[in-house]
Structure 1
Amino acid sequence: MIESPRLLLRRFRPDDAPVLAVYRSDPDIARYQSWASPITLTEAAEIIRGYAEAQPEAPGWFQYAIELKVDGRLIGDFGVDLHENRLQADLGCTLAPAHHGHGYATEAVHAVAGHLVAQGLHRLSAHCDARNTDSMRVLERAGFRLEGHGIEAELIRGEWTDTHSYGLLARHWKGPSAIA
């Protein structure tokens, strides 16, 4: 559905459930997320069934599977929450730990941002746990600007955490050549 040089962002398939269950159950990945962890195979299959019902052009969350083009392996997921006005969207990306540090997250953000800007979106935003420095670097490399710091703004696993809010206006989009 969305392609980049190394990645294909596509709909989830039922056979993605085992991989999704593993990376979303990893404590280092789940630490900064609001989902319950660990995720069983049955729960992963149910999550994927829910993803299959969503439509990327409809308001609300649509979750893309991130696949490596070279071998077809699922390495993560990318969420787009299209606002009711269809001019704004919130983004979120999760990668399996074995695929961190290879530029895949930045490449995925660039691919999705480029796609959404080409579709006429005016503004993209993303929010992350302020302790998640890797996610902050990915957003900054993709051209997003830090717009806010929420103090103890989110309750995750019984702990109040700070959040950082990032934004990118379509007129500031520089395209994939901006990957650092």
Structure 2
Amino acid sequence: MFVQTDRLILRRFTPADAEQFAAYRSDPAVARFQSWDAPVPLDDARRTVERFAEGDPEEPGWFQYAVDLDGVLIGDLGLNLSENLMQADLGFTLATQYQGQGYASEAVRGLLHHLFVDRELHRVSAEADARNTASARLLERVGFTREGLRLSNSWFKGEWTDDVLFGLLRDDYLSRLPPTPGPSA
């Protein structure tokens, strides 16, 4: 286990996750703004989950956290740690049936707390397709600042798309945390 929130565990992927992973990533609504195309065949999911399981969250590059609700894989968070180990890019995916219930926000908040408090990263960035307003709202809700818009920047699934850029600095994150109670007088 890496990170625990009130309802979720962010953990390493295991081979047992492949079937559920293939199921939610095969949903066209989930894949719409993501880098893969639906459906995701089970054999591909098995290979992907195996690769995710071998990743190291402390090393530069992408690491995928499994989002676990009561033993059920409901999504994943991707973190691309920079070579300097002080900044990262964030992405997230959640199965359709678990959207709109606060799970994605809770998972992202839990990971941000881990990254900024436990690991002391300086900055976390995120990028969203401008049409993906739900992701943009989630990022703003958890504290990210909208930093820019790159018009017609990405050739994505056969069309040019606009990219919205978000960032969150450790100092800004820490300033929003409730104060830690001190000793009683």
Normalised TM-score (structure 1): 0.94
SS in 1 for 2:155: strand
Counterpart of 2:53 in structure 1 is 52
Counterpart of 1:143 in structure 2 is 143
Superposed, 1:9-88 pairs within 5 Å as: 9-68=10-69, 71-88=70-87
Residue 176 (structure 1) shift: 8.6
CA distance in 2, matches of 1:3, 1:34: 27
SS in 1 for 2:137: helix
| 8 Å CA contact 1:110, 1:175 repeated in 2 | no
- Comparing 152-161 with 37-46, greater Cα deviation is found at 152-161
- Counterpart amino acid of residue 91 in structure 2: G
1:91-125 CA-to-partner distances (Å, cap 9, x unmatched) read 01100000000111111111111100021100000
CA distance in 2, matches of 1:159, 1:32: 12
| 8 Å CA contact 1:150, 1:164 repeated in 2 | yes
Residue 155 (structure 1) shift: 1.7
- Counterpart amino acid of residue 86 in structure 1: L
Counterpart of 2:182 in structure 1 is none
CA distance in 1, matches of 2:177, 2:129: 25
- Counterpart amino acid of residue 155 in structure 1: W
Matched residues, percent identical?
Answer: 51
Residue 36 (structure 1) shift: 2.9
> Greater relative contact order: 1 or 2 (C-alpha under 8 angstroms, separation 6 or more)?
1
1:119-158 CA-to-partner distances (Å, cap 9, x unmatched) read 1100000001111111011100100000011111112211
Residue 175 (structure 1) shift: 4.1
CA distance in 1, matches of 2:178, 2:160: 35
CA distance in 2, matches of 1:39, 1:28: 13
- Compute the RMSD of aligned alpha carbons: 1.3
| 8 Å CA contact 1:21, 1:39 repeated in 2 | yes
Residue 159 (structure 1) shift: 1.3
CA distance in 2, matches of 1:155, 1:176: 42
Counterpart of 1:155 in structure 2 is 155
- Counterpart amino acid of residue 113 in structure 1: L
Say if 1:170 and 1:105 are closer, same or farther in 2 by CA, change over 3 A. Answer: same
1:45-102 CA-to-partner distances (Å, cap 9, x unmatched) read 010111122100000000000001xx31110000110000001000011000000001
Counterpart of 1:90 in structure 2 is 89
Larger radius of gyration: 2
- Counterpart amino acid of residue 153 in structure 2: A
Aligned residue pairs total 175
CA distance in 1, matches of 2:123, 2:132: 23
Residue 37 (structure 1) shift: 2.3
**Structure 1: which 4+ aligned runs deviate by more than 6 Å?**
none
